[in-house]
A and B are shown apart, each in its own frame.
Chain A
Amino acid sequence: MDTLSVNQYIKPMLSKSKNSKIMNSLLAVGTIIWLCYCLRVLVFGLSTFGIDTYGATWGILVVNTIHIIGISHVGIAISAAVRVLKLDKYRNVARIAELVTLIALVIAVINLLLHVGRPDRFIINAFLYGKLHSPLVWSMTVFTLYFLTSFVYLYLSIRRDIYIMSSVAPKYRNFYKFLSFGYQDTSNNIERHDRVLFWLALCLVPIMVSVHSVYGLLFGTISAKVGWHNPLQAPYFVLGAIVSGFSTIIIVSAFLRSSFSWKNLLTDRIFKVFSIILAFVVFLYLYFMLSEHISAQYLPTVSERAASDALLSGRFSLIFWITSIVGLILPLGYLIIQAVRKSEINIGLLTAAAVLINIALWIKRYLLVIPTQYEPFLEHFRPLPVYTPTHTEWAVVLGSYVTAAFIFVWLMKLIPIIEFPMDQSSEIKSQQEIKNNSRKIITLLSLFLGICMILWGILTRDLDFAPVKWITGIIFILIIPMSNCLITDRILVRDEEETTTQLDNHEGDGE
């Protein structure tokens, strides 16, 4: 393997510049502050929040959770599209996107955990006593499915690179060997991984759509809040997720490109295509928004119309119009101009547009969750208190992004952030292998047990422990891709000489 070209792919691991050290330290400090605030919420409860029984009962942590889950959307979508449609030109951005997804999901769970009054009971009770009729249990189920499948997908897609790393960085050889879990860089194995990943990618697309649809239904099924009960809520959420996800991927990719001079890896073409997609989805989002407000204005029941009025001309009108114009319409204009021009793409301006769009989407989610809580169907016994988020809430919200960035930077140091191309490895062997039959048995057994457990859970959905059953079923089914890739074939002819030469050649490459 060519050392120079490998070094280019693992630049973040090798980087020891002063700037990166300062940035890492700042992110670490930010993460520690965030953890302190999280601890404060856990110790003192939700009295540290600005939420009130009468007025806003859901605050900005819900807004943030939806936004972060939205960000997680596109990661796997891009990766799945690259794999299923064989878009090899965009392969370099797939790993970045997958990592963004997984980190976003972890941070979203923590946000959700801090939002509930009893984080100590939250996950345990949801799994033990979850009721299928509650949209929150749907979201818990699809979220778990999404997280586990994404994790398996990321691991299987990264396995080969980790294996290559074990020879590139001899200092950490054992660590990477352990992580790669007996990977063999044979053509059969690569082909098998590709096949399994193709199917996983295909399964991930509907799962991903279901996650965001369910989050839309979380609001769409509530008729007690004006403006929430909207049949378009599920596709609206999916669309919002695509917008925020794509803008985040553009921001992260642009940052990595400028930090590590990856102009040849994260090419202008990638940004150009992403900007066109972003322009298209922002346009669709604006179209949905327009359609929502026009239909709301013609509603016969005045109270249902109240939420739309509050945004267009009421208490939230200023924030609504500024967000729509500065955060969506102006960036869309720029993206359209950028798309039709044949000149080189301006990454700086594109990133600025993506940042504006991302912030606008956060505010749009705020405008979905908060204003309606001031419009009760029954008059209240006192004027509803105005919801003002406390510094703890803001710290938890902002800290979530700092922590996500910190985890991302940390993972960048650990695993190759850009997939090694196939020609990067000269170790690919094409030896004769003895097929391992246990793979077939495990696949059939896992599928059978998985389906049985899921069915058992659904059939006994009114009883306790039902979610544990269907989640176990999901885990059983996820054993199929793992076992297919982890169980290795026995190689008949082993080329010892080739392997040892490779290791010797790259002794010290990672230094």
Chain B
Amino acid sequence: MYSRRKFVKTGSATLIGLAVTAPGVRSLTSKGSDSETQEKCRLAMVIDLDRCLGCHTCSITCKSENGVRLGGFRSHVMEKEVGKYPKVTRAFLPRLCNHCEKPPCEKVCPVGATYIREDGMVDIDKGRCIGCRYCMVACPYGARYFNPRHDSEEAKLFPARIFGTVDKCNFCAHRIDNGVVPACVNGCLANARIFGDINDPESEIGQLKNNEELVSLLPEFETNPNVFYKGGHTKSFTLKKGK
């Protein structure tokens, strides 16, 4: 039988051991330095708001490509009247997952279902997702939706729509893995969406990054989104007041 003094001694030694080893371990298991990741391929999208017509073709092509459920959106277009009469205009803001470099959704996912691919795209392993929706509350952009319905007929028609799991835009991973651009980029009438490796200075998106002023949504969250906007009225879409 342990005496109390012995117990306290052993306990303290263990705690000190843990405290000493834990910080060192972090550096051993971390996945490469920042400079290494910067050189890697980083898939991104630039949306030219001055070109966007607000036709919602992107939403429709996305829905048909990915079998998105009714009431859910991987990609959609927000609309707003900006300015006061007579100088009034209608502004559009196409929205999709921002594929952040530091995604809060990935950080909170308890089972590692949300993960960052080598190319910087944030995807969901639907076979692992438990549907806790913690990622949905953690995403400041509201980019995720949930498939609540359990319907076997629906599952046959749309195999990608797995019930009880969270879904979001994955840049049409099945297309880009085969060298085809995402469906929304392909369908955009006004060529407002430019997609590619933003770290490649030769690419169209790389040149846009170097030569144009690009903004991302809610930069104060420091999530470093990989979806950028050019021109338009992005700031008018941020929430000003709850009421």
A residues in contact with B131, CB < 8 Å: 46, 116-118
Interface contact B243-A314, CB-CB below 8 Å: yes
Q: Does B16 make an interface contact (CB < 8 A)? A: no
Across the interface, name the chain A residue whose C-beta is closest to B29. A462
Indicate if the CB atoms of B243 and A306 lie closer than 8 Å. Answer: yes
Do B150 and A310 have beta carbons less than 8 Å apart? no
Q: Which 5 A-B pairs have the closest CB atoms?
A: A117-B131, A306-B242, A117-B164, A45-B150, A136-B110
CB of A378 within 8 A of CB of B138, answer no
CB distance from B152 to the nearest CB of A (A): 11
Is A415 on the interface with B (CB-CB < 8 A)? Answer: no
**Chain B positions within 8 Å of A52 at CB level:** 71
Question: In the bound complex, do residue A381 and residue B95 qualify as a contact, i.e. CB atoms below 8 Å apart?
Answer: yes
User: In chain B between 119 and 178, which residues have their CB closer than 8 angstroms to a CB of chain A?
Assistant: 128-134, 136-142, 144-150, 163-166
Chain B residues with Cβ below 8 Å from A118 are: 129-131, 164-165
Closest to B105 in A: A224
Indicate whether B35 reaches chain A with its CB closer than 8 angstroms: no
What are 22 A-B interface contacts by the 8 Å CB criterion? A43-B150, A47-B150, A53-B144, A54-B145, A57-B136, A117-B131, A117-B132, A117-B164, A118-B165, A129-B112, A130-B110, A130-B111, A131-B112, A134-B107, A137-B110, A303-B240, A306-B239, A378-B142, A379-B238, A443-B1, A447-B10, A459-B25
Asked whether B242 lies within 8 Å of A224 as measured between CB atoms, the reply is: no
Residues of A within 8 A of B (CB): 43-47, 49, 51-54, 57-58, 115-118, 121-122, 125-126, 128-131, 133-137, 140, 192, 199, 221-226, 302-303, 305-307, 309-310, 314, 373-381, 439-440, 443, 447, 451, 455, 458-459, 461-462, 464, 484
Contacts known (A45-B149, A375-B242, A380-B142); A116 close to B130, Cβ less than 8 A: yes
Known: A57-B136, A134-B110, A378-B140. A443 touches B2 (CB 8 A): yes
B14 neighbours in A (Cβ, 8 Å): 451
Is A57 in contact with B137, judged by CB distance below 8 angstroms?
yes
The residues of B that contact A455 with a CB separation of less than 8 Å are 18, 21
Cβ contact within 8 Å between A125 and B108 = no
Provide the residues of chain B in CB contact with A443, threshold 8 Å: 1-2
Decide: A134 and B242 in contact? CB cutoff 8 A: no
Determine if A223 and B104 form an interchain contact, defined as CB atoms under 8 angstroms apart: yes
Does residue B185 face the partner (Cβ distance < 8 Å to A)?
Answer: no
Assembled-state Cα–Cα distance A142/B110 (Å): 14
Among A118, A126, A375, which residue has the most Cβ atoms of chain B within 10 A? A118
Cα-based distance from A100 to B168 in the complex (angstroms): 41
**CB neighbours of A459 from chain B (8 A):** 21, 25, 29
| Beta-carbon contact of A373 and B137 below 8 Å | yes
B78 within 8 A of A: yes
Quote the shortest CB–CB distance from A116 to chain B (angstroms).
5
Asked if B109 and A131 sit within 8 Å, CB to CB, the answer is: yes
Q: Looking at the complex, which one of B1, B72, B78, B140 makes contact with A223 (CB distance below 8 Å)?
A: B140
Binary interface profile of B, 196-209, with partner A (CB < 8 Å = 1, else 0)?
00000000000000
Evaluate contact between B241 and A303: CB separation under 8 angstroms.
yes
CA distance A199 to B104 in the complex (A): 39
User: In whole angstroms, what is the CA distance A46 to B77 when docked?
Assistant: 27
- With A46-B148, A375-B242, A458-B22 as known contacts, state yes or no: A134 contacts B134, CB within 8 Å: yes
In the complex, what residue of chain A is closest to B28 when comparing beta carbons? A459
B residues adjacent to A (C-beta < 8 A): 1-2, 4, 7, 10, 14, 18, 21-22, 25, 29, 71-73, 76-80, 95, 104, 107-113, 128-134, 136-142, 144-150, 163-166, 217-218, 221, 237-243
- The answer for the CA separation of A121 and B147 in the assembled complex, in Å, is 15
The answer to whether residues A381 and B146 also contact, given A115-B132, A125-B130 and a CB cut-off of 8 A, is no
Known: A57-B136, A381-B76. 4 other contacts (CB 8 A): A45-B164, A52-B71, A57-B137, A128-B111
Known contacts A125-B130, A126-B111, A455-B18; is A378 also within 8 Å of B237 by CB?
A: yes
User: Chain A contacts of B137 at CB under 8 A?
Assistant: 57-58, 222, 224-225, 373
**CB distance A129 to B221 under 8 Å?**
no
Q: Are B72 and A378 in contact (CB under 8 A)?
A: no
Query: Is B132 touching A45 in the complex (CB atoms < 8 A)?
Result: no
Whether A53 contacts B145 by the Cβ 8 Å rule is yes
The CB with the most chain A CB atoms within 10 A, among B110, B139, B239, is that of B110
A43 CA to B142 CA, complexed, in Å? 28
| A58/B22 in contact, CB under 8 A | no
Q: CB-nearest residue of chain B relative to A308?
A: B242
A133 in contact with B238 given A58-B137, A117-B147, A222-B137 (CB within 8 Å): no
Which residues does chain A contribute within 8 Å of B163, judged by CB atoms? 45, 117
A225–B145 Cα gap in the complex (Å)? 16
Give chain A nearest CB distance to B241 CB in angstroms: 5
A222 and B149 contact, CB distance less than 8 A: no
Nearest Cβ distance between residue A220 and chain B, in whole angstroms? 12
CB distance from B68 to the nearest CB of A (A): 11
CA distance A380 to B239 in the complex (A): 9
Rounded to whole angstroms, the CA-CA distance of A303 and B73 in the bound complex is: 24
**Least CB separation from B109: chain A residue:** A134
Least CB distance from A137 to B in Å reads 5
Q: Which residue of B lies closest to A53 (CB)?
A: B145
> Which chain A residue lies CB-closest to B108?
A134
Report Cα–Cα, A133/B77, bound state, in Å: 33
Residue of B nearest to A385 (CB): B71
Please give the distance in Å from A486's CB to the nearest CB on chain B: 14
Cα–Cα distance between A378 and B217 once the two chains are bound (Å): 9
CA distance A135 to B132 in the complex (A): 12
